[in-house]
Each structure stands twice: as C-alpha cells, then as structure tokens.
Structure 1
Amino acid sequence: MKHSKMPKTISLSLIIFFLSVNAFAQNPLIMDQFTADPTARVFNGKLYVFPSHDIVPPKGEGRAEWFNMADYHVFSSEDLTNWTDHGKILDQKDVPWADPKAYSMWAPDAVSKNGKFYFYFPTRLKDAGDGEKGFSIGVAVADKPEGPYKPQPNHIQRVEGIDPNVFIDKDGQAYLYWSRGKIYGAKLKDNMLELDSEIKTFEEIPQKGHIEGPFVFERNGTYYMTYPHVANNTERLEYGTSDNPMGPFTHQGVIMDESASGTWTNHHSIVNYKDQWYLFYHDNDLSPDFDKNRSNRADSLFFEENGNIKKVIPTKRGVGITASTSEIQVDRYSAKSNYGAASVFLDRLDPFKGWKVVLNKPEAWVKYNKVDFGAEGSKNVKIRARSLTGGTVAVKLAGQDNKEISKVTIQKGGNWEVFSAPVKSEATAVQDLLLQLKSGAGVEVDWVQFEK
C-alpha cells in the first residue's frame, strides 16, 4: 500500500479531496500518521472517528520512550472505505487549564446533544508534577462534528483521571465514565459540562491487573461496559453487562485477545453503523519496533442470540467494500495459503509507504474479500509487481470453484512495473478476489487494479 506525499502548496479543498478519494479501508485505517484510541460515532448519517495522535515530540520535549500526544484530528467516512482527515481540531497549547508541554492529550470521546458537539479529552493540569495524578478531563464544544472546537475555560470539577467516555441513554440522561487505576462514573448535567451525581467506583469490574479505557453502549435494553484489562501480559478487551448504565455490571468475557504483536495497550469503541456493529481498536502496524506509535483498526463485531459478544479476531483486511477500479491493496489480505505467502513492508525505513505481498512458492495465494466490480465487469487487470526470476499470477474469483478470470505474466527484473492482461470472463457485483502464483520462484505484488 502506498501513500503519496502532497506538495506543501496544495489548497485545503484539494487536501480534503485527495484524502477522501484514497481508500484506507484496510487495517490500519489511516496510513499517513499514527492514530490510537479510536472512538467511533455516527453523526448525521456519517461515521466519525476521534482518535488520539501519537507523535515523536521535538527534541528535549515530551517523555522519551513513552506516549506523546499534542493534538487531535477527526476522520470521517460514509462507506468505511474512503476516509477524510478534517485536520487538527484541538491542540494542547489551546487548553487554558492544561500543561501546554505535557504531550498527554490521550484517549478522547465525542457526543452530540442539544444541537452541539461535545469533545471530551484528558490531559495533565498545569503544575501537576509527575506520575498518574494531575490528570483531569476537559470539554471542547463545536457546532459541527468536524469542528472547529472551542475548549472550555475549566476542566470538569471532581474528575481526576483519563480515558473519558460519555454515554447518552434513550431518556436523554448523559453519563461520564473515566479511569485511574479503576473505572469511575457519574451522571452529567444537561449542559454536558458538569457532574450531576456522586461518583461511583465500579468495584465489580475485575480489580486484579491494570484496567482503563471504559466504553459503554446499549443494545436491546442491555448495557455493556467494555474496557482494556491486563489479565496476563498486555491489554485485552473485556466486557460486562447490566440492566442499568450505572451497573452493577456482571463480567461476561473477552472481546479481543492480547495483540499478537505484543503491543501493550489496546483502546477501543463499539458502534452500530448501517445495521452492522463494528469494533474500532488499535495496534502497532506502522511501528512494529515501538508500540507507543499506534494505528487505528476496525473489524466487524457480532453477537450471540443471548446478547453475548462474539470474540473479534483481528484482520488485515478490515471493513468496507473496495472498488475494483481502485488500487486494491492485496497485502491487506483476508486470508492466505499456509505456505509461500507473506505481507512485508515496501520500505522498512518508511513504513508509511505500506506493504507488499510476497508469493514465493507455486500455488501460494492470498484472498482479498469484498471487491465491487459494478454492473459492467472489467476489460483488463493491472498488477504492480516485480520479480527477479519472472512468474505468472492467476487472478481468480474466490468461491467454490475459484474461477480464473485472468492470468498476468510478470517479466523478469528488479524494478517495480505495471503488468496487464485482459479479463477473460466477466466479473460483476461484489466478489472476493484471489491471487495465486502459477509459475516462477517469487513474485512481489504491490496492488491490483481493474479497468473498465
């Protein structure tokens, strides 16, 4: 997967156009910056993601070898395939009560009420000193989900901690949840800026091991309290259920296991968009050697008949439908053969360039699901590839008979080139795509694209 660099003189409108037409449907969702702690919300029929923003701070600032976050961006999509970066919505320097050099703008949330949009964020207070104490939660308010957001002059009184989450029940009552070693919660006043009850400590949540990041949602009258918990080595996602947004919550199980990459944190949100539930979370895809620079991911989430959450298995493919005429990043595959197929960085020194598929044994394959061929089918297929030995790649529709629709010859050579071949059989509608090495000792594939 490649991400082109934009000229510095490009206009804002062109930036928005550029970003909105580039498909980042695969995991990770965003390929030009680090994004973590994603809160996904639906506003005005569109899905918005409010993540934190991992950065490498200027020399001499922030905390070396730790999380450093100075600002927030917001991203939106209507199809979970094309994402728009609406730019920076809040900076640590703009918060009156915050330490402007703390680099502690950690996991946020955003909700809509009374015709306004409320963005909740944690950061360190001025003169707070070191350690986990000294954090509070602030609110910034906007007329549109993409901002601009204006931070309130003071943080929420009586709240000490991080990871704000706001849940608005069907009766309009809003609740604020947060963490600091344990999970806490309270009602919010109608102004969404002040607590309206005593603070509850959710002692029924497992207390052994680090816990943070609460996210509460409701489905069919059941309230779900979800959270990251270090039960063994790193954070996994767990949940409990209740018939009341203030609990008590009964522990039910694990939503997502510890990351295979060893990333110490996971922070998430769960959202229903167009009648499908999704889990948004993060991992260290673009920074495999440093897990403090993370990237947002999304995968579909499903429920058992009794309301229990089925465990989510992370995928590279992610969510959304990819147009056949786009550059299909098959390195974000849905499945692969048990031999001779792998996804590796195009350039290890520049992970933002993305990945390539390496097929190095005959019959090795990768499958990429949900490609929209439209109603007319395609005339040709193009593959950006290279091979030191040359080879042949079969392009198939994944299914019961894995129907071959084209075969592309990759010429011998060490440089990336685009090779093409006619499509022999019409492919229409949404299909799963399969690429298989038919000859040669090794072929590297960057992307596949169909032409009408």
Structure 2
Amino acid sequence: MKKLLLAAALACGVAAVHAAPNPLFAPLYTADPAVLVDGGRVYLFAGRDEAEPEGKDYVMHEWRVFSTCDMVNWKDEGVPLKAATFGWAKGRAWASDVVKRHGRYWFYSTVEHATVPGFAIGVAVSDSPTGPFVDARGSALITNDMTKQTDIAWDDIDPTIFVDDDGQAWLYWGNTVLKAAKLKANMTELDGPITVVPVANFVEAPYLHKRKVRGKNVYYLSYSQHFPEETAYMTGPSPTGPWTPQGVVMERNTKTKTIHQAFFEFNGKSYVAYHNAELPGGGEFRRSVAIEEFSYRTDGTIPFIHQTKTGPKANPSAACRR
C-alpha cells in the first residue's frame, strides 16, 4: 500500500512536499484572495502589494493568479488584468471576486474611479481563468454616487459574486455598510435596487457561499468585523437571509489590521484563504495570502480556524495526472 501511495504521489508531483508553507507565494506580497475551483484546479486571485518597506499606503496596480491541482504545488499564472484594464479608473487594484458562468469567467474588482470621486466596482471577463480579462462594460458597475449611506469615499469596495442554483447572480459589497443587489443574466447590469444588509460591527470583505446541511441549503455570509479586523459569519436559508450571527472564526492579525477571507471546497475538503503579513519584511501594506484546511461541524457551523505556518496537506485531484 505504501508503494502504491508513493507512486500516486510521484505521478502528481507532490512526493517531495507534503504540505504547503503559510503564507504562500513568496517573495511576492499578496492580499485579498479570491478563489475559483474549475476543472480540478484551484485558481487563486490576489492583489499584489508593492509598497516599499516603510510605505504608508497600499500600492496595488495589478492582480495575480496562481493555480494548483493538489493544494501544495502552486503555479504562478501571471497577471490576468491590471487596474489599468479599466480605462475609466485611475488605479488601485483592491479586493476582487470571480465566478464562472456561461462558459466565461467574470471578475468583479475594486478600483478608484477617475472622474467620479471615490472607489468603484468594475466587471471584467475572459474565456480563460488565467486571462487576459477585458472590461466587460466600458464603465463602472457601481460608483460612489450610487450609494448615499455614508460619506466616505471607500464604502463601495470588496465585491463578492455568487450565482445560485436557480441562476440568479448576487453581488454583495461594502465598507461600514453592507450592500447587496441582484445581477441580470448578462452579469454586467444590476437587476433591481441596491439594498442594505444590517450587520452589527460590519467593516468590509463580505463573502457568500452555500452548502447542504442535513438536506437543506445553508447560506454563509462571512465578513470582517471591528478594526483591527477579525473574521465573523452569519447563516441563513436564502441569499438574503434572514441571517443568524454565528460568531468569530478567525482572529485578528498582528502585523496588519486587515484580513480578507474566501471559503471554498476542493476535492472533497474545505478551505479558507485569507491574508496576514507573516512573510519576511511583511507589514500593514505588505501582506501575504495563506490557506487553512478545516472541517465543518456536523450541524454545519464553522469552527474557530487557527492560522498556521504549515498550510494544507497534499490533496491531488485527477487534474494532476493530466
């Protein structure tokens, strides 16, 4: 049996490394992970932190994408798009999310608008998860003047995109105030009004996913709360709730005030991607993506997930043999 397992590991290229290190992608500094599972591979999109060691602001011009078929060996797939991909933006490749629909890949991202003061959300599309992505609208999907709940310039950030089994696409986003809207089937237009989701202590980084628990659909809406941030979540029976708070599942970081999660399933196991600042030279504006494996409790709730220096163990999919 041991010989068979070793042979399988060699075939998948994971014999030499049994677990990935945390954080990932050194020497690059990366943040705000978004995850897409497609064709037996995990595609992880992240903004690249480019600030100097003593920098005092986020310097982010592009997103990077990395892929793996075994959760250990990652391939740097390069730059699928930049903030400059959106001709109407003046920069800031902040948090994003991605989904596959109609055989294409849709990327929702935060950038700073060039003519409408404040941050905005754009939509890019590609025929491949590794890009290149192009602007799907030629204009922003969400601009700061469309939402009046706060007077801050950064309340329209951190989009998460979720397509339910009935085909309805949902967009959640926000800072300080959590906002939501339906999308039309074309994935580039709102389908109805923007609504506000009341969440105590909400700061940013909403993420929506769904699982079956004891035969019923359970929707999980996770987010960052307080500042410095910690990861909390709520559950509900639909994409709009009603939501039941479930508590904190990841503690705040020590070297950066932010943390940004993305939950996903791969090859029969559950994972959460997030960022800290634990790579050498890391800090507030030089963050680093990491991943933890975890198991849901029998009632479907998420346990407290500790950050580790050793990431997930090898979990090769059939794609490793291709």
TM-score range, shorter chain: 0.7 to 0.9
Residue 304 of structure 1 deviates from its aligned partner by 1.5
Letter in 2 for 1:266: I
Quick one: distance in 2 between partners of 1:31 and 1:287?
9
Secondary structure (helix, strand or coil) at the match of 1:213 reads strand
Please state if 1:135 is matched with 2:115. no
Aligned partner of 1:412 in structure 2 is none
Aligned partner of 1:125 among 113, 116, 126 = 113
Alpha-carbon displacement from aligned partner over 1:379-409 (angstroms, at most 9, x marks no partner): xxxxxxxxxxxxxxxxxxxxxxxxxxxxxxx
Aligned length: 286
Rounded to whole Å, the distance in 1 between the matches of 2:236 and 2:190 is: 22
1:321 Cα offset (Å)? 2.7
Matching residue of 2:62? 71
**Could you report, residue by residue, the CA deviation over 1:161-200 in whole angstroms, capped at 9, with x for unpaired residues?**
1101001111111100101321111111001011102111
Is contact 1:287-1:294 (8 Å) kept?
Answer: no
Distance change >3 Å, CA 52–CA 22, structure 1 → 2: farther
1:112 aligns with 2:100: yes
For residues 290-301 of structure 1, the aligned pairs below 5 Å read 290-301=283-294
Provide the residue aligned with 1:154 in structure 2. 139
Aligned-residue offset at 1:22: 9.8
Q: Counterparts of 1:321 and 1:240 in 2: how far apart (Å)?
A: 30
Deviation at 1:287, TM superposition (A): 4.8
Root-mean-square deviation (CA, aligned residues, Å) is: 2.3
1:157, 1:200 → 2: CA distance? 13
Indicate the percent of aligned positions where both proteins have the same amino acid.
34
Show the counterpart of 2:208: 216
Counterpart amino acid of residue 273 in structure 2? F
Q: Secondary structure at the match of 2:205?
A: coil
Alignment equivalent of 2:21, drawn from 22, 26, 30? 26
The question of whether the paired residues in 1 share the 8 Å contact of 2:51 and 2:57 is answered with no
Shift of 1:69: 0.6
CA contact (8 A) 1:202 1:248 kept: no
Deviations 1:391-429 (A, max 9, x none): xxxxxxxxxxxxxxxxxxxxxxxxxxxxxxxxxxxxxxx
- Which secondary structure does the structure 1 equivalent of 2:108 belong to? strand
Give the residue type in structure 2 aligned to 1:89: P
| Bigger Cα Rg | 1
CA distance in 2 between partners of 1:72 and 1:289 (Å)? 18
Match runs of 1:55-66 below 5 Å: 55-56=50-51, 64-66=55-57
Q: CA deviation at 1:64?
A: 4.7
TM-score (structure 2 length as normaliser): 0.83
- Aligned-residue offset at 1:119: 0.8
2:29/2:282 contact within 8 Å kept? no
Instruction: Indicate if the aligned counterparts of 2:255 and 2:283 stay in contact, CA closer than 8 A.
Output: no
Between 1:219-228 and 1:312-321, the stretch displaced more is 312-321
Matched to 1:255, the amino acid is: V
Change (3 A) 1:244 1:82: same
Q: Mark the runs of 5 or more structure 2 residues left unpaired by the alignment.
A: 1-13, 148-155, 317-322
1:47 aligns with 2:42: yes
* CA deviation map 1:280-313 (0-9, x unaligned): 0111012556221100100112212111111101
Q: What is the aligned counterpart of 1:237 among 231, 239, 242?
A: 231
Is the 2:71–2:315 Cα contact (8 Å) retained in structure 1? no
Residue 214 of structure 2 corresponds to residue 226 of structure 1 = no
What's the TM-score, normalizing by structure 1?
Answer: 0.60
Local SS of the residue matching 1:87: coil
Aligned to 2:249: 255
